[in-house]
Structure 1
Amino acid sequence: MKINKKLIDFRHLARMPRRFEMTSFALAAVVALSGKAYAQTSTGVNGTDGKAGVDAVLPAVTVNAKAEADATTEGSGSYAAQAATVAGKTPQALQEVPNSVSVVSRQRMDDQNMTTLQDAMQYTTGVTAVPWGDSAYYTARGYQLGIEYDGIPLFNSVQYQLQLDLAFYDRVEVFRGPAGVMDGLGNPGGTVNMVRKRPLDTFHVSTETQVTSFGGARQTVDVTGPLNKDGTLRGRAVIVGSDEHQSLDGSRDKEAGAYGILEYDINPRTTVSFSAAHQVNSDSGFDFGVGGMSNGERLPTSWTQNFGPSWNYKRSVLNEVNLNLTHAFESGWKSNSTILYRHLNISATDAYPLGATGTDPYVQSYWGERNIQSYSSLGFDTNVSGPVHLFGQDHTLTFGANYSQTTYAQAYGGESLGAFNVLDAAGIPEPASIATAYNYYHYQQGGVYGQAHIKITEPLSVTLGAREAWYQESSRGAASDWAVQTRVNGKFVPYAAVTYDIIPQLTAYASYSTVFAPQTGTTASGGALAPQSGKQYETGLKGSFLQHRLNANVALFRIDNNDYAISDPDNPNFYVDAGKVRSQGVETEVNGEPLPGWNVYAGYTLLNTDYLSGGSSTGQSYDLEEPHSLFKLWTTYRFQRGMLRGWMVGGGLFAQSASSRSSTLYEQGGYAVYNAQVGYTFNKHTSATLSLNNIFNRRYYARDPGTFFSEFGDRRNAVLSVRTDL
Structure 2
Amino acid sequence: MDLSHTRRARTRSLHARLTPVAISLLAIWAGHARAQTTPSATPPSGTSSAASTTGSAGGDNVLPAVTVTSQADATTEGSGSYAASSATIAGQTAQPLKEIPNSVSVVTRQRMDDQNMTRIQDALLYVTGVEALNYGDGTAYYKSRGNYLGIEFDGVSVVSGLQYQTQFDLAMYDRVEVFRGPEGVMTGAADPTTPGGTVNLVRKRPLDTFHISTETQVDTFGSVRQMVDVTGPLNQDGSLRGRAVIVGSDGLKSVDGVREKTFMAYGALDYDINPRTTLAFSAAYEVDPVSGFDYGIGGTPEGTRLPSSYSQNFSPSWNYSYTSLAEANLNLTHKFENDWKSQTTVFYRHELQSSDYAYSGPGVSANGLASYGDQAQRNTYDWFGADTNVSGPIHLFGQDHTFTIGANYSLLTQTEESGFVSLNGPFDGGTYNVFDPDSVPQVNVPFTFASNIRTEQYGVYAQGRIHLAKPLTLVLGARETFFNEESQNVLPTVSNWTTDTRMNGRFIPSAALVYDIVPWLSAYASYSKVFSPQTATTFSGGALPPATGEQFETGLKGSFLNGRLGATAALFRINTNNVAIDDPNNPTGSIAGGGARNEGFEVEVTGEPLPNWNLYAGYTYLNQDFENQTANYSDGTDPKHLFKLWTTYRLSQGFLNGVTVGGGMLAQSQITRGVEQGGYAIFNAQVGYRFNKHVDASLSLNNIFNREYYVRPPGTFFSEFGDRRNLMLTVRTDF
Task: Please report the TM-score for the alignment, with normalisation by the length of structure 2.
Answer: 0.87
Of residues 397, 402, 409 in structure 2, which corresponds to 1:403? 409
Structure-to-structure mapping, 1:224-623, within 5 angstroms: 224-355=231-362, 361-418=367-424, 419-478=431-490, 479-520=494-535, 530-565=545-580, 579-611=594-626, 613-614=627-628, 622=634
1:517 is displaced (CA, Å) by: 1.6
Cα–Cα, structure 1 residues 28 and 499, in superposed 2: closer, same or farther, change >3 Å? closer
1:299-353 CA deviation, whole Å, 9 max, x = no partner?
A: 1112211000111100000001000000000000000100000110000011111
Unpaired runs of 5+ in structure 2?
A: 1-32, 44-70, 425-430
**Counterpart contact for 2:299–2:363, Cα < 8 Å:** no
Partner of 1:3: none
3-state SS in 2 of match to 1:110: helix
Identical positions, percent: 59
CA distance in 2, matches of 1:106, 1:338: 23
Report the CA distance between 1:566 and its aligned residue.
7.1
- The equivalences for 1:99-114 within 5 A come to 99-114=102-117
Moved more, 528-537 or 198-207: 528-537
Match of residue 14 from structure 1: none
What's the counterpart of residue 96 of structure 2?
A: 93
Q: Is the 8 A contact 1:289 1:709 kept in 2?
A: yes
Contact persistence 1:701–1:712 (CA under 8 A)? yes
- Of residues 59, 74, 78, the one that matches 2:81 is 78
Count of paired positions:
662
SS of alignment partner, residue 563 of structure 1: strand
Task: Using CA pairs under 8 Å that are at least 6 residues apart, name the structure with larger relative contact order, 1 or 2.
Answer: 2
Match of 1:189? 196
Greater Cα radius of gyration, structure 1 or 2: 1
Q: Deviations over 1:607-662 (max 9, x none)?
A: 01111x31667xx994521100000000000112222110000000000000122x
TM-score (norm 1): 0.88
Query: Deviation at 1:539?
Result: 0.2
Aligned 8 A contact 2:36 2:337 in 1? no
Query: How far did 1:518 drift?
Result: 2.1
C-alpha separation in 1, matches of 2:542 and 2:313: 35
1:390-421 deviations in Å (ceiling 9; x for gaps): 11110000000000000111001112123110
Deviation at 1:249, TM superposition (A): 1.1
Query: Would you say the 8 A contact 1:509–1:541 is kept in 2?
Result: yes
CA contact (8 A) 1:356 1:362 kept: no
Q: Secondary structure at the match of 2:81?
A: coil
Matched, 1:163 2:172: no
Cα separation, partners in 2 of 1:431 and 1:574, compared to 1, 3 Å:
farther
**Structure-1 separation of matches of 2:402 and 2:391:** 7
Equivalent position amino acid for 2:422 in 1: S
CA deviations over 1:218-259 (Å, ceiling 9, x no partner): 000000000000000000000000000111111100000100
> Offset at 1:427?
2.7
Tell me, in whole angstroms, the C-alpha distance in 2 between the residues paired with 1:573 and 1:162: 31
Q: Which residue of 2 aligns with 1:41?
A: none
- 1:680 aligned to 2:683? no
**Cα deviation, residue 483, structure 1:** 1.1
Amino acid at match of 2:566: N
| Counterpart amino acid of residue 186 in structure 2 | M
Answer yes or no: is the 8 Å Cα contact 2:363–2:716 preserved in 1: no
Gaps of 5+ in 1: 1-17, 30-67
- Which letter maps to 1:678? V
Q: What is the match of residue 721 of structure 1?
A: 730
1:709 corresponding residue in structure 2: 718
Deviations 1:463-490 (A, max 9, x none): 0110001000000011112111111011
Does the 8 Å contact 1:407/1:441 carry over to 2? yes
Q: 2-side partners of 1:631 and 1:28: how far apart? A: 40
Contact conserved, 1:610 with 1:621, CA < 8 A, in 2?
no
Change in 2 beyond 3 A, CA 1:315/1:26: closer
Corresponding residue SS for 1:579: strand
Measured in 2, the distance between the counterparts of 1:675 and 1:346 equals: 34
Aligned to 1:147: 151
Contact 2:502 2:533 in 1 (8 A): no
Instruction: Give 1:574 deviation, angstroms.
Output: 11
CA contact (8 A) 2:600 2:622 kept: yes
Name the SS of the counterpart of 2:672 in structure 1.
coil
CA–CA separation in structure 1 for the residues paired with 2:72 and 2:207: 18
- The answer on whether the counterparts of 2:421 and 2:445 sit within 8 Å (CA) in structure 1 is no
Deviations 1:399-454 (A, max 9, x none): 00000000111001112123110000023210023333211111000100000000
Shift of residue 703, structure 1, vs aligned partner: 1.2
2: CA distance between counterparts of 1:288 and 1:525? 34
Letter in 2 for 1:660: T
Cα separation, 1, equivalents of 2:243 and 2:124: 26
Q: Determine the structure 1 residue equivalent to 2:678.
A: 669
Q: Residue 129 of structure 2 aligns with which residue?
A: 126
1:212, 1:137 → 2: CA distance? 25
CA distance in 2, matches of 1:441, 1:409: 6
Match for residue 220 of structure 1 among 227, 232, 245: 227
Local SS of the residue matching 1:115: coil
Q: Distance in 2 between matches of 1:653 and 1:236?
A: 35
Match of 1:667, SS? strand
Q: Does the aligned pair in 2 maintain the 1:185–1:518 contact within 8 Å?
A: no
| 2:637 counterpart of 1:625 | yes
Q: Distance in 2 between matches of 1:673 and 1:381?
A: 41
CA contact (8 A) 1:324 1:338 kept: yes
Cα distance in 2 for residues equivalent to 1:249 and 1:28: 56
What per-residue deviation string (whole Å, max 9, x for no partner) do you get for residues 116-151 of structure 1?
A: 111011000010110012100001111100000000
Distance 1:573 1:707, change over 3 A: farther
- Name which of structure 1's ranges 359-368 and 376-385 shifts more when overlaid on structure 2: 359-368
1:631-646 correspondence runs (5 A): 631-646=643-658
CA contact (8 A) 1:185 1:471 kept: no
User: CA shift at 1:578, angstroms?
Assistant: 5.8
Q: Provide the C-alpha distance between the structure 2 equivalents of 1:192 and 1:566, rounded to a whole number of angstroms.
A: 26
3-state DSSP class of the match of 1:145?
strand
Counterparts in 2 of 1:131 and 1:576: CA distance versus 1, 3 Å: farther
Distance 2:560 2:401 in 1: 24
1:610/1:622 contact within 8 Å kept: no
